Chains A and B, each alone.
Chain A
Amino acid sequence: MARRPDLPEQGLQGEGPTGNEIRKSWAPGEPPQHDVPDPAPAGPLGRTADLLMLTPQGLYCPAGGFHIDPLRPVERALVTHGHADHARAGHGHVLATAETLAIMAARYGENFAGSSQAAAPGVSLAIGHTTVSFFPAGHVLGSAQILIEARDAAGRLTRLVASGDYKREADPTCAAFELVPCDIFITEATFALPIFRHPPAGAEIARLLQSLHLFPERTHLVGAYALGKAQRLIALLRAAGYDAPIYMHGAIEKITALYQRFGINLGDVRPVPARDGRGGGDLPGAIVLCPPGALQDRWSRRFADPAHALASGWMRTRARARQRGVELPLVISDHADWPDLCRTVVETGAEEIRITHGQEDALAHWCATRGLTALPLHLLGYGDDDAAAVEETAPGAATGGAAS
């Protein structure tokens, strides 16, 4: 995972949720080297039900007494990553990676939870009757899969991985996805249709640069989610040799600065300068990043004949791109595409697959054709990134009030 040399150590806030911390290294593919706590009393639904159930607050682990990415305030929350639909404010205790905690603090303020604890990658923590450890998910900075291990009454060990959102494609701005073998795998399904095969991100960046070459007098306004996508785009542009300043909408600045503090090199990034009434700040020929919601907003009118690009996996279909009024759809996603979802499900070795938000039915069907037990979880409340995007737009921008 990315290092965070210049941030204060978050540390344990008092005793952790269990106070029973186990720090032993664990390598994927090997059996766990630590003791797993005593089993919880067996529930009527067998081992899955002990480890996982759906509550109005979201996924809940009865054996550990905690929620994963809860939608409403709960006593104990394990958070996979910092996107608004997964990381919410107001929980009693939050366990997440240091990066995710920093993101939550940046978005919700330092008091986003009663207490918080940083989970180091690959380090096991005992919580209730379970052992929990975090592994990189490759989605955005700090994103993690959560491994939960528990023994049933018969002493049988079950390993469950809640993967949160993940991608397998390389991303210069976050640690690469690690495959964690398990018995039960909870996968996202945002792009779980075989039509979703993300092209190499570099090829999409090349199309953006080609457009800039064809229309050197137009501002290229690129819609990208404020957390993760925007910073990845900048890094990809830098990798493609684009070294001009890249401008940012106000809603993206804070998270970008946070990425830089974690040591991600993004080159010359600047806030969009104020207009001076003489054409200054119109930024012809520049790349300006903004949240998707700002693309068609009044704010966007200030630029020189703007060309609208949007970086999202949804841009794979034309109707979606046209609905968003986009002239240059860039298929760049921070979620696994169909081949990677299928590959991951198989590679974890899991016998049971649980599918959360997205196109659950298609992936469940595919798993069934492979002889895997797969059930949609029908969780409500998670993106569609579009929903998160609205949230990520600066307050007031949607009504035309904000301008930066």
Chain B
Amino acid sequence: MKRFAGLIDRLSFERGRNARLRILRDYFATTPDPDRGYALAALTGGLSFASAKPSLIRQLISERTDPVLFSMSYDYVGDLSETAALLWPDAGEQVGDDLSLGAVVETMAAALRPQMADLLASWLDALDETGRWALLKLVTGNFRIGISARLAHMALAQYANRDVNEIEAVWHGLTPPYLTLFAWLEGRGPRPGPQEIAPFRAPMLAQPINETELRQLHPPDFVAEWKWDGIRVQAAAGTDGDGAPIARLWSRNGEDISAAFPDLIAELAGKAHFDGSIDGELLVVHAGVVQSFNVLQQRLNRKSATSKLQLQYPAHIRAWDVLALNGDDLTALPWTERRARLETLVSRLDSSRISLSPLVAFASWDELAAARAAPAATDLGPDAAAVEGCMLKRRDSPYVSGRPRGPWFKWKRDPHLIDAVLMYAQRGHGKRSSFHSDFTFGVWRTGDDGARLLTPVGKAYFGFTDEELGQLDRFVRANTINRFGPVREVTHTADQGLVLEIAFEGLRRSPRHKSGVAMRFPRIHRIRWDKPPGEADELTTLERLLEPDGPSTT
């Protein structure tokens, strides 16, 4: 437990990607089984036991502290687990060195809820404060230290000197503490195979492409599809040992998001059940029309969905690939063959929740460019609002996990561009913490008294090169007119100030923002050293770019 506590303590403060990889590698190399496997599971969200409730922790610490001092401390710290870890009375002699992570995880998995209080208390007595903090984070299932599953896999790959895709290919058949995985990585055992029902398969990703690069490709080699502005999902289904249908929805990172989409799962495990795995885009389709990302967001980042939400924002899969069917792995087949099987499958399923991703007909790149520029002018109709460009796929391409160069490209619609004026700057984090790298910018509007004034419309913290960051930082330092803690106000009058060309993907109404609009994915496209701030854009220009607000509520 001590090693594990040290690991997550260090990871929780380290922001550098390479440093995090190094810390993880060092841990894998120096920690015995099964602890390192359980740590890997804890970091990748793979542990499953009935987690301890915050109320239990509150009860345990209340029994041991003065309530006034507890409440003052909790106010100060702001995090219950951390407060409890810091306040827990030292039991005198700490025997925590003997308490292994494996023992904690295995005992928790076997424990009944009524036993949990005594178990936790005895462990807390045995640990120091970092150990207590780690334990409480572990048992409450509340791990927010910014380590993605991908990063953990990368660290494993570096540790074992293998390709990360090799690890991701086997990952989803494995269970903690991953003894077979470590045995394989260390050359002590065979490659583990996936055995799970409805498993996740690491997805194939597309490379971005621009028009110049595109023109060097041969049009007949490729097919084009619309690039839908939803979220990438894998719908996997099968049957368990008793013949009962199973369906799962996986995010592109292999996160099981089934619980958030009971409407889709019911369909996949019921009327539209199949045995295999479909790759596609999760969208909200309301009254036959694909809704914008803005609308889809109502269903995202939730643990579950109320029936009202399901009714108002019905989830839908736009399918574009099939990876496995009736026990056969189809990934080695060329795209054309997979597409043929997908078409047959989707038509057999005959579900209002699963549709085929339509192809975009084109004979030349010019024709495709025209379709991409004006999708609404094609046969898409109102669905065009949810399109953010085109996908290009080689007809002969097999399905390869990862982001191979060549077979798949995404040719995104050009972003919106506006000229805005730099208003505030804030220091960045981690590596950029000594630079002003978060920039708040505004556009002009006419005030009640008829005067033109700037209103902030967004914040951007990337899009520039390191060199440009240096220039921006110098500009901020030299033109600061006010400081509010870490934020600096920068000169912004009609004559003096800096114009930034901002690129963004979409704009929606937002009552939370002073300007009434919120940008999606804003970034600094160009620094307009040449342009006087007075010539930057007006809010009215921006408002013309607003997306529709979504379906009228029924």
Contacts and interface: CB of A to CB of B under 8 A. Distances in A.
Most buried by B among A195, A197, A316, A359: A195
Interface residues of A, number: 36
A215 B10 CA distance: 13
Given A214-B23, A215-B19, A327-B15, A195 B434 contact: no
Contacts of A321: 13
B287 interface: no
Contacts of B14: 327
A366 B69 contact: yes
A275 interface: no
A366 to B, nearest CB: 7
Given A195-B83, A300-B434, A328-B13, A399 B477 contact: yes
Given A325-B429, A327-B13, A362 B72 contact: yes
A317 B26 contact: no
Interface in B8-51: 10, 12-16, 19, 22-23, 26
A254 interface: no
Interface in B486-508: none
Interface string A189-219: 0000111110100000000000100110010
A296 B19 contact: no
Interface string B432-449: 011000000000000000
What range describes how many residues of B lie at the interface? 20 to 34
Contacts of A218: 19
B87 interface: yes
Contacts of A369: 66
A365 B13 contact: no
Contacts of A326: 13
A359 B66 contact: no
A305 B19 CA distance: 10
B86 interface: yes
B82 A318 contact: yes
A3 interface: no
Contacts of B72: 193, 359, 361-362, 365
Interface in B50-101: 65-66, 68-69, 72-73, 76-79, 82-83, 86-87, 90
A68 B443 CA distance: 54
A317 B83 CA distance: 9
Interface string A15-28: 00000000000000
Interface of B: 10, 12-16, 19, 22-23, 26, 65-66, 68-69, 72-73, 76-79, 82-83, 86-87, 90, 128-129, 427, 429-430, 433-434, 477
29 contacts: A193-B69, A193-B76, A194-B69, A194-B73, A194-B86, A195-B87, A197-B86, A199-B128, A199-B129, A214-B22, A215-B19, A218-B19, A296-B427, A301-B434, A307-B19, A316-B86, A317-B76, A317-B77, A317-B82, A319-B78, A321-B13, A325-B433, A326-B13, A327-B13, A329-B13, A359-B72, A359-B76, A365-B69, A366-B69
